[in-house]
């Protein structure tokens, strides 16, 4: 195990009806809040009103900023920054999925910057400070509620860029599994794929080869995500499966799974950001579509890790590592099909002609993530496997 420093400052409040604590928790950080939200459906279900009532009861002055989209966009973030600056808000409350929370983080950082927020995503500016963020996730998947990352799409250029910074950890995350009861089946499935992929990437692609503790931790969470997702799809009102899925998605990318592994890499996310940036595909759907092909490409150079994945996650055994690796990929593809997720680019309506532009679009993100082993020509070869 490599040397590491682990630091996650996010306070987590978990349980049913915990959203009622939003006002009191917010009051500890500021008296005026920007409430960032997405789905109009949350208002119909009463979730939005619960949060708004809690904020008002605590004496918080609220400035509302709705309309965050899946694959959060730059223009909406810029509007939020303008609102925060105009009204002098001291805290940002994010009610929604990972896209809403990422938007809130970008607003929190941009509101205190003297330049345009996209400068952070171009790698030209560094985040020195940010407003505190309270994350209220309504979808299990991204884990953004307990990590220091955010992703944003510049709709003018088609670039979808992810960055991380220590100032982006939410101050508080309030996780109420009952809020996820109404999440549509496709969104539940795609969120599970996202959480699964967060674990899978670090499991497969890292410097440290010997880390049995981390291997078992990640494999156990991957199995939990799969079983909880299936149970939640079978019975959307099952509290146990919704709770497992929400907590597992937070644990998947809060920093624990990568500790002691040295440098870890995110090539599958690199490629998917291009898919959703150029074609506005749901993030989890894009990941599902490329996983079998991208894993097959990677397994040829690293069969041992893929064989271990097959053994630890799916319990299959074979003396031949290459055969075992292929069986693990087949088992994963079967699970993706079981939850009605795509397993190829063709499932998304994409074809060979789309590949060059997708590959070229990864160049900026690869530079920012220092993925020199994934120039556009390698990405193009991987995407060919995903057809």
Render each residue's pLDDT in the chain as its tens digit; 387 residues.
999 999 999 999 999 999 999 999 999 999 999 999 997 777 777 999 999 999 999 999 999 999 999 999 999 999 999 999 999 999 999 999 999 999 999 999 999 999 999 999 999 899 999 999 999 999 999 999 999 999 999 999 999 999 999 999 999 999 999 999 999 999 999 999 999 999 999 999 999 999 999 999 999 999 999 999 999 999 999 999 999 999 999 999 999 999 999 999 999 999 999 999 999 999 999 999 999 999 999 999 999 999 999 999 999 998 899 999 999 999 999 999 999 999 999 999 999 999 999 999 999 999 999 999 999 999 999 999 999
Residue 151, token pair as written in the block: 């992703």
Residue 141: the pLDDT is 96
Question: CA distances (Å), 140 to each of 194, 242, 246, 294, in order?
Answer: 9, 8, 5, 24
Pick the CATH number of 11-178 from 3.40.50.1970, 1.20.120.530, 1.20.1630.10, 3.30.1490.100: 3.40.50.1970
Q: What is the structure's pLDDT at 104? A: 98
Contact (CB, 8 A) for 347 and 333:
no
The tens digit of pLDDT for each residue in 309-325 reads 999 999 999 889 999 99
**All residues at 6 or more sequence positions from 152 whose CB lies less than 8 Å from its CB, including other chains:** 72, 73, 74, 77, 102, 103, 106, 117, 118, 121, 160, 161
Phi and psi at 144, nearest 5°, equal -60, -20
Spatial distance between the Cα atoms of 137 and 146, rounded to a whole number of angstroms: 10
* C-alpha–C-alpha distance, residues 11 and 16, integer Å: 17
Residues of the chain with CATH 1.20.1090.10: 183-385
CA distance 105 to 115: 16
Spell out where the chain has E strands. 11-14, 32-37, 61-65, 91-96, 133-137, 149-154, 159-164, 172-175
The reported pLDDT for the residue numbered 229 is: 98
- pLDDT value of position 314: 97
pLDDT value for 211: 94
Instruction: Name which CATH class applies to 183-385.
Output: mainly alpha
Alpha carbon distance, N-terminus to C-terminus of the chain: 37
Angstrom distance (rounded) from CA 273 to CA 173: 25
As annotated, the residues of the chain forming the CATH 3.40.50.1970 domain(s) are: 11-178
């Amino acid at each position: 195990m490599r040397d590491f420093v682990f630091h996650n400052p996010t306070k987590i409040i978990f349980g049913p009806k915990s959203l009622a604590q939003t006002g009191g928790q917010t009051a500890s950080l500021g008296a005026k809040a920007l409430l960032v939200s997405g789905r109009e459906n949350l208002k119909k279900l009463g979730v939005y009103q619960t949060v708004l009532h809690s904020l008002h009861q605590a004496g918080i002055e609220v400035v509302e900023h709705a309309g965050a989209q899946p694959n959060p966009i730059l223009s909406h973030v810029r509007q939020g920054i303008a609102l925060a600056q105009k009204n002098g808000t001291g805290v940002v409350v994010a009610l929604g999925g990972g896209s809403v929370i990422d938007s809130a983080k970008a607003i929190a950082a941009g509101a205190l910057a003297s330049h345009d927020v996209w400068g952070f995503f171009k790698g030209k500016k560094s985040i020195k400070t940010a407003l505190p963020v309270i994350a209220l996730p309504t979808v299990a998947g991204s884990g953004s509620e307990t990590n220091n990352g955010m992703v944003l799409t510049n709709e003018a250029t088609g670039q979808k860029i992810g960055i991380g910074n220590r100032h982006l950890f939410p101050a508080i995350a309030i996780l109420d599994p009952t809020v996820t009861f109404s999440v549509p089946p496709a969104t539940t499935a795609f969120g599970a794929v996202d959480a699964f992929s967060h674990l899978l990437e670090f499991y497969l692609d890292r410097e440290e080869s010997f880390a049995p503790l981390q291997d078992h931790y990640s494999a156990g969470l991957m199995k939990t995500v799969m079983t909880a997702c299936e149970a939640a799809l079978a019975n959307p009102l099952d509290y146990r499966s919704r709770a497992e899925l929400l907590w597992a998605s937070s644990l998947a990318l809060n920093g624990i799974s990568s500790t002691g592994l040295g440098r870890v890499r995110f090539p599958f996310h690199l490629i998917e950001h291009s898919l959703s940036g150029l074609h506005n595909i749901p993030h989890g759907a894009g990941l599902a579509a490329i996983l079998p092909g991208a894993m097959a490409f990677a397994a040829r150079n690293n069969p041992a890790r893929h064989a271990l994945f097959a053994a630890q996650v799916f319990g299959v055994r074979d003396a031949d590592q290459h055969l075992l690796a292929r069986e693990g990929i087949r088992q994963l593809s079967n699970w993706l099909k079981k939850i009605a997720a795509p397993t190829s680019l063709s499932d998304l309506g994409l074809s060979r002609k789309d590949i060059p532009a997708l590959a070229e679009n990864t160049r900026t993100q690869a530079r920012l993530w220092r993925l020199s082993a994934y120039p556009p020509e390698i990405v193009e070869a991987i995407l060919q496997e995903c057809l």
